Structure 1
C-alpha cells in the first residue's frame, strides 16, 4: 500500500514493540497516532518522533475504556477523516500467579482478557467506520507464539516446556480466532486483518521470562510493519512471524 499520507494508529505505542512500530511507520512517511493510556507518555513519544522529522500525534487511549475509545475515534475522525492502519498492540501479561492451573483467580483472568481480547474488539469496532473510509485498510493484531497450539504441544519446541498458564496464552489464542472472524467479515470492505507473533523481545514486557532475550523491539516490530504496509499481495486471516505463517 502507498505510504503517502497514510494514517496509522498504534495502541500501546509509548514503549516496547508498539514504540518501535510507531517509529518505523514515521520513517516510512506515515502519519502516526501514538495511542497510550497515559497521554503525557504518548506525547513524549510523539515529540521524539517529530524531532527526527516524522509526523506523530498522541492519542489518549485506554483500550478497556469504551467511552474513552469512542472519544478517541471521534477525535481521529475529526482531525484526519479516516484511518488506514490499525495496530492492536496494547496487551498485558497479567499476574502470573493468578493464572496458574490449580490456583487460578478469575479476577486476574478477566483483567487479562479485558485488555488482550475485549480491548481489541472495543478499539476495532470504534475504528471500523474510519477504516472503511480508507482505500486499502489494514488491521494487525499483535498476538504471541504462546498462542500456537501446535508449538505448545510439540515436545521439540521450547514453548512446550513453559509452565501452564490460563490467561495470557489463552487470551492470545482467542485473539487469533478473533482475527480470522474479522478477516472473514471485513473482506468485502477490502480491509485485511492478520495476527502476528513478534517473538520474545528485550522489552519491559518480556524481561521476566526464564531465558535470554536476544531480539530487540525493532526485531519484533518488523513483521507488524510488513503486514501493515504490504500491497495487494498482502494476505488476510493469517498468523505470521518473521519466518512466515505460524501454525495455529
Structure 2
C-alpha cells in the first residue's frame, strides 16, 4: 500500500464531516482519516458504521477527541496526532454551529449566542489551525480547508440572491414565522471565516500550502434543525459533499486555491 494521505477532519462523526470521511474511506487511493469529534464514542460509532458498510476498504480510520472550544483539547489532539503520525497532509476545518435559533427560543441570550458563534466558528477554528500548522508543514502536499457557507457572500447579499436576503415587512419586532429565517450571527461568522482563509492563504503562500474556503451548498444536515425538514426546503442530501471534498484533496480545484469554492465554481466574496 502506498504512503497514505493523513487527513484530519473536525466534526467528522455527522453531517458533512461524516460524508467526507465516507468518501475517503471508500476511495481507491490510500487515506488515513482522523475522525475528530467532541465525543470519542460518537467517533467510534461512526467508524464502526463505515467499516460495516465498506468491509473491503484498506484505508484507516482513527477516532480522536477534539473540542475546538477548548484550548486544552486542541493541544491534546495535536500532541496525539504528532505522536502517532508526525504530520498532517490535510486539515478540514468542518466543525461549526448555528446558534441564532437559540436566541428565539430563549435558550441563549443574544450576547451569549453571538459570542458562542464566533468562538466555535472562527476563534476555535483559528486556534486549532495555528496549533496544527507545524504538522501541516511537514507534508509534501499540504492542504488547508475551511467549511464556509453560501450565506456568507457579501456580493450575493447585496443582489438578494437567496431567500434569506429578502427584507422582512416593516415594523418591530420582526416576525419569526412566515418569513425566511434570520441567521445574522451564523452568517457573520462565516463571512469572517472567509477573511481568515484569505489571511492563511497569505501567511502560508511561500510555504506551498493550498488553502480554500469550501461552500458545500444547502445540504440536509443537523446544522439548522431537522435534516428532513431541510430537504422540504430544497436542501440536497449531504452525501454530495463527500466526492466534492475528495476532489479538492486530490487536486481538482488547485487552480482556485485561496478562494471560496462551491461545486459549480467560485463563490463571489
What TM-score does the superposition give when structure 1 sets the normalisation length?
0.90
Using the TM superposition, give the Cα deviation of residue 228 of structure 1 relative to its aligned residue in structure 2, in angstroms.
2.2
**Does residue 1:187 correspond to 2:202, yes or no?**
no
Q: Which residue of the other structure, out of 234, 239, 245, is the alignment partner of 1:218?
A: 239
- Number of aligned residue pairs: give it: 244
Preserved contact between residue 148 and residue 215 of structure 2 (Cα < 8 Å): yes
**Does residue 1:27 correspond to 2:26, yes or no?**
yes
Report the Cα distance in structure 2 between the residues aligned to 1:210 and 1:109, rounded to whole angstroms: 27
Using the TM superposition, give the Cα deviation of residue 164 of structure 1 relative to its aligned residue in structure 2, in angstroms.
4.0
What TM-score does the superposition give when structure 2 sets the normalisation length?
0.84
Report the Cα distance in structure 2 between the residues aligned to 1:84 and 1:229, rounded to whole angstroms: 11
* Deviation digits for residues 54-106 of structure 1 (CA, Å, limit 9, x no counterpart): 31010000011111111101101110110001000000011425289xxx711
Preserved contact between residue 9 and residue 85 of structure 1 (Cα < 8 Å): yes
Using the TM superposition, give the Cα deviation of residue 159 of structure 1 relative to its aligned residue in structure 2, in angstroms.
3.7
Partner of 2:50: 49
Q: Point out where structure 1 has 5 or more consecutive residues left out of the alignment.
A: none
Using the TM superposition, give the Cα deviation of residue 204 of structure 1 relative to its aligned residue in structure 2, in angstroms.
1.8
Show the 5 A alignment for 1:68-217: 68-96=73-101, 98=103, 105-161=110-166, 162-206=180-224, 207=226, 212-217=233-238
Which deviates further from its counterpart, 206-215 or 120-129?
206-215
SS in 2 for 1:167: helix
Report the RMSD for the aligned CA atoms in angstroms.
2.3
Q: Which residue of the other structure, out of 66, 69, 81, is the alignment partner of 2:71?
A: 66
* Deviation digits for residues 96-143 of structure 1 (CA, Å, limit 9, x no counterpart): 25289xxx7111100111110011101101111110000011011000
Report the Cα distance in structure 2 between the residues aligned to 1:247 and 1:30, rounded to whole angstroms: 32
**Does residue 1:244 correspond to 2:262, yes or no?**
no
Preserved contact between residue 151 and residue 159 of structure 1 (Cα < 8 Å): no
Using the TM superposition, give the Cα deviation of residue 185 of structure 1 relative to its aligned residue in structure 2, in angstroms.
0.6
